[in-house]
Chain A
Amino acid sequence: MSGLIIEGVTKKFGNVTAVEDVNLHFKTGEMICFLGPSGCGKTTLLRMIAGLEEPTQGSISFEGKDLTRVPVHQRDIGMVFQSFALFPHLSVGENITYAMRIRGHSRSEREDRAKELLDMMHLPGVADRRISQLSGGQRQRVAIARALALNPQIFLLDEPMSALDANLREAMQIELRKLQQELGITTVVVTHDQTEAMTMADEIVVMGRARVLQTGSPMEIYKKPVDKFVAGFIGTSNLLPAKMSGENAVRVGSAELRVEHGAVGQPAGTDVLLMTRPEEVFVRPIGASAPANAVTGKVSFVRDIGATIEILVDCDGHEVISVLTPKDWPDVRIGDAVTVEMPAGACTVLAA
């Protein structure tokens, strides 16, 4: 079997289970993001792929070769650490060609490769500098270049953006994704930042409490989260308590809404959550033609940030956010009674 396969992997540290029964299968050349809050086990899983931790149970293989018991230094991987882990006693060039040096590549070969990699990372001419002379962004580029020096089969990155400031982070996400596609290298990134995951990943693995909660493309996960935890972690979501009232319908307060996604078909009367995304719900002043599939509420806050406007509506004690563009502005003020339209295609039922 080709690709990166993780089968039944569990990792225990003493009594603490860091990763529990993880089964994943990725295609060669994919970019995969492990996404989750801190302590969810995503870094431990990455370190097991690297060989820095040994699974308590289960196996990890790549391109049909079992890696589970292969020592870290004999795996063909490149890894970027959260702190970048650049060697302070070596120059930039020496850092980048460290892997080549310990394998006995000649000096001229190393110098050529260092130059090539630094050009690729848009950092020409810094090979002789000390690490301490570099900025955070430059260090990250050096760390990436170093991990890629020997064209590894698997590229691993542990929270690679966390040491960068916000502007730089976004630019690097795009650059890293482009680089990965260019090289076609199987890549695993650990992150707690959903935007980062959505920007870069072919496949996102959402983790929580040592387990995999959902796997899928960014849009699958955004559109069809499996539970309220995933929904809350990816993007902003509106959650309203509801009761099933039919095969494809729920009741929220006095309003009845048709729904198309999620755990539909449960017996009537079951407590559920109705989830919608802010950009898919529409606020209208009361009195105009009453839309179907809507709830009522009162505007509690309006946040106009130029490109978009957010309207916060208090629906019987639960907050619903609607995000729209200025041209769709419904002209409502704080305190106005409004209807919030939730088209059936935008409604997802989640277990309460």
Chain B
Amino acid sequence: MQEGTRLTRSIGLIPSSVMIGIFFMVPFVLILLTSVSVPTADGDYQLGFSLEHFDRFASWFYIERALFSAGLCALIALLSLLIAFPFTYMLTQFGPRSQTVWLIYILAQLSLSEVLIAFSWQILLSRTGGIANILVWVGLAEKSFSMAPSAGAVLAALVYLAVPFSVLLLYPALSRLDRSLTEAARTLGASPLRTFFTVVVPVTRPAIISGGVTIFVLTLGAIIVPQVLGKPEHWTLSVLITDQAIFNFNMPFASALAVVLLVISASVIYGVTKFFGGKS
């Protein structure tokens, strides 16, 4: 009661509305407008409506890049969830203290700049740096060699980037999982492994699906790893957008590619949640 009218309550929202309006909505609209702009005689662009930038995208080169991006990100989502799920399940069974320590480390690594992750994998995969030396040492390789740039290097580093995110995305569902469910399965004669596959995984399916979608979108946004550890044919849409905007100054085409990226992200989020019924 006595809490003032709807209007006075809304007044406090004005500064935030202005900030979100100008700095989120306007940039968004600008991307859309720029993606359909028309070029001027002096090489600049102006408001208008033309689909020529989307036309340019509709060549095999760019479609292949889009398909490659989507396929790579789907594979990464799958791999990182496979790696992270059992760990997260175990993590939720740790004591509160060690849970917190692990979570702090995982958050710290997850926040680490993509630049630094790319750098560390560059070292790891270099001729003098790490894994190759170990391979020589255990006798699997005769001579140290460099493993980057390659598609495998991009994949490895992006999975490494995605695993901490996967842990955090699975953590809520797994830590809220009703322990009496697994206990019930055990009393009914299921082994721990069977319990895991017949109870834990199905019950947390919505989180697995929405986690997968989130990882997919997240890795779609990766920019540095493909550049540092891959050859140009491993570049993803995000890299191409950056390249067009920063180094070719082709804003309309960069915008068109951004719209494509947006459509891919949105339709994957929408499609997967609708098809599998997961919550995001």
Contacts and interface: CB of A to CB of B under 8 A. Distances in A.
User: Within the complex, are A and B direct neighbours (CB within 8 Å)?
Assistant: yes
Interface string A242-284: 0000000000000000000000000000000000000000000
Nearest to A54: B1
Contacts of B1: 51-54, 71-72
A54 B3 CA distance: 13
Interface in B35-85: none
A68 to B, nearest CB: 11
Interface string A26-51: 00000000000000000000000001
A53 B2 CA distance: 11
Nearest to A73: B2
Nearest to A53: B1
B2 to A, nearest CB: 4
Interface in B1-27: 1-2
Interface of B: 1-2
Nearest to A51: B1
7 contacts: A51-B1, A52-B1, A53-B1, A54-B1, A71-B1, A71-B2, A72-B1
Interface residues of A, number: 6
B4 to A, nearest CB: 12
**Binding site secondary structure of chain A:** loop
Contacts of B2: 71
Contacts of A54: 1
Contacts of A53: 1
A56 to B, nearest CB: 13
Contacts of A52: 1
Interface string A313-328: 0000000000000000
A69 to B, nearest CB: 9
A72 B2 CA distance: 9
Contacts of A72: 1
A54 B2 CA distance: 10
Nearest to B2: A71
A248 to B, nearest CB: 53
A55 to B, nearest CB: 11
A332 B1 CA distance: 63
B1 to A, nearest CB: 6
A71 B4 CA distance: 12
Nearest to A52: B1
A51 B2 CA distance: 10
Nearest to B1: A54
Nearest to B3: A71
B45 to A, nearest CB: 54
A48 to B, nearest CB: 11
A180 B2 CA distance: 31
A44 to B, nearest CB: 14
Those 7 A-B pairs whose CB atoms lie nearest each other, nearest first? A71-B2, A54-B1, A71-B1, A72-B1, A51-B1, A53-B1, A52-B1
Interface string A53-69: 11000000000000000
Nearest to A71: B2
Contacts of A71: 1-2
A51 B1 CA distance: 9
A53 B1 CA distance: 7
A20 to B, nearest CB: 21
A139 to B, nearest CB: 24
Interface string A203-227: 0000000000000000000000000
Nearest to A72: B1
Contacts of A51: 1
A52 to B, nearest CB: 8
A132 to B, nearest CB: 15
